[in-house]
Amino acid sequence: MSPTPTRTRRRTVVSAAALSAALLAGLTACGGGEEPAAPSASGAPPANLTVLAASSLTDVFRTAGAAYEKAHPGTKVTFSFAGSQELAAQVKQGAPADALVTADTRTMDGLRAETGEPRVVAKNRLVIATGKGNPFKVDELKDLADPGLKVVLAAPEVPVGRYSRQILDAQKVAVKPVSQEPSVRAVLGKVEMGEADAGLVYRTDAARSGGKVVTVEIPDGQNAVASYPAATLRHSWNAGAAAAFTAWLSGPEAQKIFQEAGFQQP
């Protein structure tokens, strides 16, 4: 006898449930057959997180990421570093990522529709980076106006490039850069390799150059403060874990890591 319509519907529901169970079992098997990791002590669910971060955070985030993974078993944090303007373009194009940390609030504010509420997690300042031994005796901002000096700056759409122009214009220092780079790391690299005599970079980047450049401090009254906001991305598939990570960046463990790397408190 043919099954009644009611029974047919029941069999369809049961089949769908069985298929869902099979898919879940397959996903578990992809992890090597191990039991799923339990939430960490903070309650954050385990996840594979992708964080888009400003290039000036490269070194400190490698340390921070390792510390976060240790405190949150089952979570893997992968960083993608680039200039903040490049990161913004990636977010607008729907790049598969969970959180974003830029080197300025302006870039983050332009992504309100794509992010959660941002929070500044660190601050930084600019310095002049010169070649090893400072052969051209650069001592202050006005020295960068020397037409015989090869100065490299970040492009104006890059946060550090915008900060650079801001402080140079405020001091009425006219600089014609030999190149305008896509990130602070690119500026630093030009000076390290001797392709430029001087450049404006973040203090933390110059400190990590391993003695390849000489750092010339800029007085606070002539300097700019770079703020680093962090936010979750609305299209993240790991919303809870992403929120836990961005919140952790403001906590004592992460703040200690930032300060040890030369960043200022937010």
- Of 177, 74, 53, 176, the C-alpha closest to 121 is 53
- Of 189, 230, 244, the C-alpha closest to 87 is 230
Quick one: 130 and 170 in the same domain? yes
Confidence band for 210, pLDDT divided at 50, 70 and 90:
confident
**Cα gap 178→180, rounded to integer Å:** 7
Residue 191, both tokens: 């000076």
- What separation in angstroms does the CA of 228 have from each of 17, 53, 246? 46, 10, 12
Check whether 61 has a pLDDT greater than 90: yes
Quick one: 215 and 139 in the same domain? yes
Check whether 245 has a pLDDT greater than 70: yes
Higher pLDDT, residue 54 or 7: 54
Quick one: 231 and 104 in the same domain? yes
Identify the pLDDT of residue 230.
Answer: 98
Q: Give the mean pLDDT of the chain.
A: 87
216: part of which helix (H) or strand (E)? Answer: strand 213-217
Check whether 5 has a pLDDT greater than 80: no
φ/ψ of 103, rounded to 5, equals: -95, 10
Confidence band for 38, pLDDT divided at 50, 70 and 90:
very low
pLDDT, average across residues 2-15: 38
Give the lowest-confidence range in 8-17, 105-114, 200-209: 8-17
The alpha carbons of the chain give a radius of gyration, in whole angstroms, of 24
Check whether 37 has a pLDDT greater than 80: no
- Look up residue 224 and give its amino acid: A
Q: Classify residue 33: in a domain, yes or no.
A: no
**Cα gap 170→161, rounded to integer Å:** 14
Confidence band for 3, pLDDT divided at 50, 70 and 90:
very low
Cα distance between the two ends of the chain: 74
Check whether 179 has a pLDDT greater than 60: yes
Q: Classify residue 265: in a domain, yes or no.
A: no
Quick one: 178 and 240 in the same domain? no
What is the phi-psi region of residue 130: left when phi exceeds 0, alpha when psi lies from -120 to 50, beta otherwise? beta
Confidence band for 214, pLDDT divided at 50, 70 and 90:
very high
For residue 108, the SS3 value is: helix
Check whether 16 has a pLDDT greater than 70: no
Identify the pLDDT of residue 43.
Answer: 63
**Cα gap 86→160, rounded to integer Å:** 13
Interval 92-123: pLDDT, tens: 999 999 999 999 999 999 999 999 999 999 99
Q: Classify residue 42: in a domain, yes or no.
A: no
Quick one: 211 and 238 in the same domain? no
Quick one: 156 and 191 in the same domain? yes
**Cα gap 63→6, rounded to integer Å:** 59
pLDDT, average across residues 135-158: 96
The tally of domains found in the chain comes to: 2
User: What is the residue range of 144's domain?
Assistant: 124-225
**Cα gap 55→48, rounded to integer Å:** 21
Check whether 130 has a pLDDT greater than 90: yes
Q: What is the CATH number of the domain that holds 72?
A: 3.40.190.10
**Cα gap 249→49, rounded to integer Å:** 14
pTM for the whole structure? 0.81
Higher pLDDT, residue 207 or 45: 207
Quick one: 219 and 233 in the same domain? no
**Cα gap 202→138, rounded to integer Å:** 17
Quick one: 141 and 212 in the same domain? yes
Quick one: 185 and 130 in the same domain? yes
Q: Classify residue 205: in a domain, yes or no.
A: yes
Residue 185, both tokens: 């790391």
Higher pLDDT, residue 8 or 110: 110
Check whether 14 has a pLDDT greater than 60: no
Burial letters 191-222, b for 16+ CB under 10 A, else e? bbeeebbbbbbbbbbbebbeebbbbbebeeee
Q: Are 161 and 85 in contact (CB under 8 A)?
A: no
